[in-house]
Amino acid sequence: MKPIQFAYFAPRLLGSLLIAALLSACGDAPKEKGSVPAVTKPALTVTTTTPQQLDWPQVLKASGNIVAWQEAVIGPEISNYRITEVNASVGDRVKKGQILARIAGDTVESELAETRATVAEAQATLIEARANNERSRQLREKGFYSAQQGTQTQTAADTALARLNAAKARQQTAELKRSKASVLAPDDGIISARLATVGTLTQPGQELFRLIRGGRLEWRAEVTAAEISRLKPGQAATLDSPNGETLEGVVRAVSPSLDPQTRNALVYVDLPANATNAVSAGMFARGEFRLGHSPALTIPQTALLLREGFSYVFRVEQNKVTQTKISTGRRNGERIEVIGLDPQAQVVASGAGFLADGDTVTVVAAKPAP
């Protein structure tokens, strides 16, 4: 077999290629008989959904601090006496009248004994003065005493009575002081601070304990001037505790004035009695106020697309998608309120992040929920 002569075929092959290139450039390239035009391939297979009209609660979100409803500062009522016993610590629940601390009562007892002796002495003096006054009256009637002497004995009796009353008042003071040797809880509650230490001397105005009255806590939420008019006492509030537990509260009062620095107002929300199991005074917490119900046009959150700080959905019309800008409102579970969308619009239910405006899609029926 003879070898192929490439030198013979090369010029003819090169000429054919040049002719085909020129015809293609001029748009006169020959078309094959029966050729089929190219078909655009769908970009994505999607499911669609229609916005649903639902009756949703209106809520107002806020944040603020957890504080004690009322915090009582407990101090000694007698000064310059030594503390001998401390019976309460931070976190203890106490009852009204319970002894929190004891103060040395030796000096108080001696003062009380002294005042009792003074009272007894004044009583004896009064008895004697009254007896002298009675004898003086009898002798004056018989002409033995002058009127001046009668006045003197009456004055002595009145003076003895006054001294007795003063001695009794000092005795009551000593008895009261003895009763104050025990520091008592003024109300039921929880001890939030303790500064009392055995061996220290009590001083005027000294703080020994702090008590959360009734163990009650409240949430002081901050709201703006525009929001304050929407809140009233008695409205329900929901508070999210740091441990994930939800607390139900009730608006007790709304501040009549705004803070001149922040321009915010305080809303006082009473928390349930068991709130101390989930939150503590001093915590920062977020929550919301329930203001009633109103209709909302909603779509699944999976249908929402966020781009460059704006919200979009993809509407499907004749197997093509159109990127549509919308506004969002309330959220509830897996659905979100949309504003500015036709209630009859068909929107892509999920996978919007893979689409671009004008893409061609294939719409399939959504799978029924199991």
Counting residues of the chain whose pLDDT is more than 90, the rounded percentage is 25
Q: Which residue has the higher pLDDT, 28 or 338?
A: 338
248: domain CATH number is: 2.40.30.170
For residue 357, being part of any structural domain is answered with: yes
In angstroms, the CA 216 to CA 218 distance is 7
Q: Is 140 exposed, middle or buried (0-12, 13-18, 19+ CB in 10 A)?
A: middle
Lowest mean pLDDT among 43-47, 195-199, 288-292, 328-332: 43-47
Between 266 and 155, the more confident residue is 266
170 and 262 part of one domain? no
CA angle 305, 310, 314 (to 5 degrees): 35
Residue 277: pLDDT above 80? yes
Domain count, the chain: 3
Global confidence as pTM: 0.59
15-34 confidence digits (pLDDT tens): 454 444 444 444 444 444 44
Q: Return the pLDDT at 366.
A: 63
Q: What is the tens place of the pLDDT at every residue in 60-94?
A: 889 999 999 989 999 998 888 889 899 999 989 99
Structural domain containing residue 209: 81-103+181-214
Which of these three, 214, 233, 267, is where a domain ends? 214
The model's pLDDT over 117-132, given as tens digits with 9 standing for 90+, comes to: 888 988 888 888 888 7
**CATH number for the domain harbouring residue 200:** 2.40.50.100
Query: Per residue in 188-220, pLDDT tens?
Result: 999 999 999 998 888 888 999 999 999 899 999
Give 294's pLDDT tier (boundaries 50, 70, 90): confident
Note whether residue 18 is domain-resident: no
Instruction: Supply the DSSP string of 202-218, one letter for each residue.
Output: P-TT---EEEEETT-EE
User: The tokens of 20 are what?
Assistant: 């085909």
Banded model confidence at residue 271, pLDDT cuts 50, 70, 90: very high
Whole-angstrom distance, CA of residue 313 vs CA of residue 311: 7
At 100, phi and psi to the nearest 5? -95, -35
